[in-house]
Amino acid sequence: MTSSLDELRARIIELEGHVEAELEARKAALRYHIEQGRAIFDRETHAQHRALRSRLFGYVFRSRLLVVLTAPFIYALILPFVLLDLFISLYQAVCFPVYGIEKVRRADYIVIDRQALGYLNLVEKLNCIYCGYGNGLLSYAREIAARTEQYWCPIKHSRRVKGAHDRQAGFIDFGDAEGWRDRLEEMRKALAKADP
Protein backbone atom coordinates (compact mmCIF):
# COMPACT_ATOMS: atom_id res chain seq x y z
CA MET A 1 0.00 0.00 0.00
CA THR A 2 1.33 3.41 -0.96
CA SER A 3 1.55 5.90 1.87
CA SER A 4 0.13 9.39 1.57
CA LEU A 5 3.70 10.75 1.67
CA ASP A 6 4.62 8.63 -1.35
CA GLU A 7 1.53 9.91 -3.16
CA LEU A 8 2.49 13.51 -2.36
CA ARG A 9 6.04 12.93 -3.61
CA ALA A 10 4.66 11.45 -6.84
CA ARG A 11 2.44 14.51 -7.24
CA ILE A 12 5.44 16.80 -6.72
CA ILE A 13 7.35 14.95 -9.46
CA GLU A 14 4.34 15.30 -11.76
CA LEU A 15 4.11 19.03 -11.03
CA GLU A 16 7.85 19.44 -11.69
CA GLY A 17 7.19 17.94 -15.13
CA HIS A 18 4.54 20.59 -15.73
CA VAL A 19 6.99 23.30 -14.64
CA GLU A 20 9.58 21.99 -17.14
CA ALA A 21 6.99 22.04 -19.93
CA GLU A 22 6.08 25.63 -19.03
CA LEU A 23 9.75 26.64 -19.04
CA GLU A 24 10.14 25.16 -22.53
CA ALA A 25 7.15 27.22 -23.67
CA ARG A 26 8.79 30.35 -22.21
CA LYS A 27 11.97 29.64 -24.22
CA ALA A 28 9.91 29.62 -27.40
CA ALA A 29 8.13 32.84 -26.40
CA LEU A 30 11.49 34.53 -25.72
CA ARG A 31 12.72 33.23 -29.09
CA TYR A 32 15.69 31.13 -28.16
CA HIS A 33 16.68 27.50 -28.24
CA ILE A 34 19.57 25.48 -26.84
CA GLU A 35 22.25 24.32 -29.27
CA GLN A 36 25.29 22.41 -28.01
CA GLY A 37 24.62 23.66 -24.50
CA ARG A 38 24.32 27.33 -25.51
CA ALA A 39 21.26 29.55 -25.77
CA ILE A 40 20.80 30.84 -29.32
CA PHE A 41 18.52 33.82 -30.00
CA ASP A 42 17.22 34.72 -33.44
CA ARG A 43 18.90 37.75 -35.09
CA GLU A 44 16.06 40.16 -34.44
CA THR A 45 15.92 39.34 -30.72
CA HIS A 46 19.71 39.56 -30.43
CA ALA A 47 19.66 43.03 -32.03
CA GLN A 48 16.88 44.15 -29.65
CA HIS A 49 18.93 42.93 -26.70
CA ARG A 50 22.02 44.87 -27.80
CA ALA A 51 19.91 48.03 -28.21
CA LEU A 52 18.67 47.71 -24.62
CA ARG A 53 22.16 47.41 -23.09
CA SER A 54 23.02 50.26 -20.72
CA ARG A 55 26.35 51.98 -21.29
CA LEU A 56 29.04 51.05 -18.80
CA PHE A 57 29.94 54.61 -17.76
CA GLY A 58 26.30 55.56 -17.13
CA TYR A 59 25.69 52.34 -15.24
CA VAL A 60 28.63 52.95 -12.88
CA PHE A 61 27.89 56.68 -12.55
CA ARG A 62 24.24 56.04 -11.58
CA SER A 63 25.16 53.45 -8.92
CA ARG A 64 24.78 54.48 -5.30
CA LEU A 65 28.08 55.10 -3.50
CA LEU A 66 27.34 52.54 -0.77
CA VAL A 67 26.64 49.90 -3.42
CA VAL A 68 30.02 50.58 -5.01
CA LEU A 69 31.75 50.51 -1.60
CA THR A 70 30.28 47.09 -0.75
CA ALA A 71 31.55 45.49 -3.98
CA PRO A 72 34.93 44.47 -2.48
CA PHE A 73 33.11 42.60 0.30
CA ILE A 74 31.06 40.68 -2.23
CA TYR A 75 34.00 39.84 -4.49
CA ALA A 76 36.27 38.91 -1.56
CA LEU A 77 34.17 35.75 -1.22
CA ILE A 78 35.81 34.40 -4.36
CA LEU A 79 38.69 33.09 -2.22
CA PRO A 80 36.56 30.92 0.11
CA PHE A 81 34.45 29.87 -2.88
CA VAL A 82 37.49 28.60 -4.78
CA LEU A 83 38.77 26.82 -1.65
CA LEU A 84 35.35 25.23 -1.08
CA ASP A 85 35.27 24.14 -4.72
CA LEU A 86 38.73 22.59 -4.43
CA PHE A 87 38.10 20.81 -1.13
CA ILE A 88 34.57 19.56 -1.86
CA SER A 89 35.68 18.23 -5.27
CA LEU A 90 38.69 16.52 -3.69
CA TYR A 91 36.50 15.09 -0.92
CA GLN A 92 34.07 13.44 -3.32
CA ALA A 93 36.90 12.25 -5.62
CA VAL A 94 38.56 10.43 -2.71
CA CYS A 95 35.58 9.31 -0.59
CA PHE A 96 32.67 8.64 -2.93
CA PRO A 97 34.31 5.71 -4.74
CA VAL A 98 35.07 4.12 -1.36
CA TYR A 99 31.44 4.49 -0.24
CA GLY A 100 30.03 3.44 -3.63
CA ILE A 101 28.30 6.79 -4.11
CA GLU A 102 27.84 8.14 -7.63
CA LYS A 103 29.81 11.37 -8.00
CA VAL A 104 28.02 14.69 -8.38
CA ARG A 105 28.54 16.22 -11.82
CA ARG A 106 29.85 19.72 -11.22
CA ALA A 107 28.57 20.91 -14.61
CA ASP A 108 24.98 20.08 -13.57
CA TYR A 109 25.19 22.68 -10.81
CA ILE A 110 27.65 25.36 -11.92
CA VAL A 111 26.14 26.97 -15.01
CA ILE A 112 27.79 30.13 -16.29
CA ASP A 113 25.86 31.36 -19.30
CA ARG A 114 24.18 34.69 -18.57
CA GLN A 115 27.22 36.70 -19.67
CA ALA A 116 26.23 35.84 -23.26
CA LEU A 117 23.10 38.00 -23.00
CA GLY A 118 23.39 41.01 -25.29
CA TYR A 119 21.48 43.37 -23.00
CA LEU A 120 24.05 43.14 -20.18
CA ASN A 121 27.00 45.54 -19.95
CA LEU A 122 30.49 44.45 -18.82
CA VAL A 123 29.86 44.93 -15.07
CA GLU A 124 26.51 43.14 -15.25
CA LYS A 125 28.15 40.26 -17.14
CA LEU A 126 30.88 40.00 -14.51
CA ASN A 127 28.25 40.00 -11.76
CA CYS A 128 26.32 37.25 -13.55
CA ILE A 129 29.44 35.11 -13.93
CA TYR A 130 30.19 35.55 -10.24
CA CYS A 131 26.63 34.76 -9.10
CA GLY A 132 26.38 31.76 -11.42
CA TYR A 133 29.61 30.39 -9.98
CA GLY A 134 28.86 31.17 -6.32
CA ASN A 135 25.28 29.91 -6.24
CA GLY A 136 26.08 26.93 -8.47
CA LEU A 137 29.02 26.02 -6.26
CA LEU A 138 26.85 26.13 -3.13
CA SER A 139 24.26 23.88 -4.84
CA TYR A 140 27.04 21.49 -5.92
CA ALA A 141 28.46 21.38 -2.37
CA ARG A 142 24.96 20.91 -0.96
CA GLU A 143 24.33 17.87 -3.17
CA ILE A 144 27.67 16.34 -2.15
CA ALA A 145 26.77 16.94 1.51
CA ALA A 146 23.25 15.53 0.93
CA ARG A 147 24.63 12.31 -0.56
CA THR A 148 27.06 12.06 2.34
CA GLU A 149 24.20 12.52 4.80
CA GLN A 150 22.16 9.85 3.00
CA TYR A 151 25.07 7.44 3.35
CA TRP A 152 25.93 8.10 7.00
CA CYS A 153 22.77 9.42 8.64
CA PRO A 154 19.59 9.22 6.52
CA ILE A 155 17.28 10.18 9.39
CA LYS A 156 14.79 13.04 9.21
CA HIS A 157 15.11 15.72 11.86
CA SER A 158 12.58 15.92 14.69
CA ARG A 159 11.30 19.25 13.37
CA ARG A 160 10.96 20.83 9.96
CA VAL A 161 14.19 22.30 8.59
CA LYS A 162 13.90 25.35 6.34
CA GLY A 163 15.39 24.77 2.91
CA ALA A 164 16.17 21.09 3.47
CA HIS A 165 17.62 19.26 0.48
CA ASP A 166 15.38 17.01 -1.63
CA ARG A 167 16.86 13.78 -0.30
CA GLN A 168 15.61 14.39 3.24
CA ALA A 169 12.01 13.68 2.25
CA GLY A 170 12.95 10.03 1.67
CA PHE A 171 15.00 9.64 4.84
CA ILE A 172 13.95 7.38 7.71
CA ASP A 173 11.55 8.99 10.17
CA PHE A 174 12.99 10.45 13.37
CA GLY A 175 12.48 7.91 16.14
CA ASP A 176 11.92 4.93 13.79
CA ALA A 177 14.57 2.62 15.29
CA GLU A 178 13.40 -0.43 13.34
CA GLY A 179 13.32 1.54 10.09
CA TRP A 180 16.88 2.66 10.78
CA ARG A 181 18.12 -0.90 11.08
CA ASP A 182 15.97 -2.20 8.20
CA ARG A 183 16.50 0.59 5.65
CA LEU A 184 20.06 1.89 6.16
CA GLU A 185 21.65 -0.43 3.59
CA GLU A 186 18.82 0.24 1.13
CA MET A 187 19.43 4.00 1.50
CA ARG A 188 23.16 3.49 0.86
CA LYS A 189 22.63 1.27 -2.18
CA ALA A 190 20.30 3.88 -3.70
CA LEU A 191 23.27 6.24 -3.88
CA ALA A 192 24.96 4.09 -6.51
CA LYS A 193 22.44 5.51 -8.99
CA ALA A 194 22.15 8.78 -7.02
CA ASP A 195 18.53 9.70 -7.80
CA PRO A 196 16.89 11.57 -4.90
Q: Residue 36 falls within a domain, yes or no?
A: no
Look up the pTM and report it: 0.82
Burial 133-154 (b: 16+ CB within 10 A, else e): bbebbebbbbbbbbbbebbeeb
Q: Residue 136 falls within a domain, yes or no?
A: yes
- In order along its 196 residues, the chain shows pLDDT tens digits of 457 878 888 888 889 888 888 888 887 778 787 888 788 888 888 788 888 788 877 777 788 889 889 999 999 999 999 999 999 999 999 999 999 999 999 999 999 998 888 899 999 999 999 999 999 999 999 999 999 999 999 999 999 889 999 899 889 999 999 999 999 999 999 999 766 5
SS3 for 140?
A: helix
Q: Which domain holds residue 164?
A: 63-190
Q: Residue 27 falls within a domain, yes or no?
A: no
Give the DSSP H or E segment for 132: helix 122-152
Spell out the residues 6+ positions from residue 78 whose beta carbon is closer than 8 angstroms to its own: 130
DSSP 68-118: HHHHHHHHTTHHHHHHHHHHHHHHHHHHHHHHTPPPP-GGGT----GGG-T
Q: Measured between alpha carbons, how far is 18 from 75 in angstroms, rounded to an integer?
A: 37
Q: Residue 178 falls within a domain, yes or no?
A: yes
Q: 3-state SS of 18-73?
A: HHHHHHHHHHHHCCEEEECCEEEECHHHHHHHHHHCCCHHHHHHHCCHHHHHHHHH
pLDDT on residue 43:
84
Q: Measured between alpha carbons, how far is 157 from 178 in angstroms, rounded to an integer?
A: 16
Q: Are 96 and 102 in contact (CB under 8 A)?
A: yes
Q: Residue 119 falls within a domain, yes or no?
A: yes
Chain Cα centroid distance, residue 87: 18
Domain count, the chain: 1
Q: Residue 30 falls within a domain, yes or no?
A: no
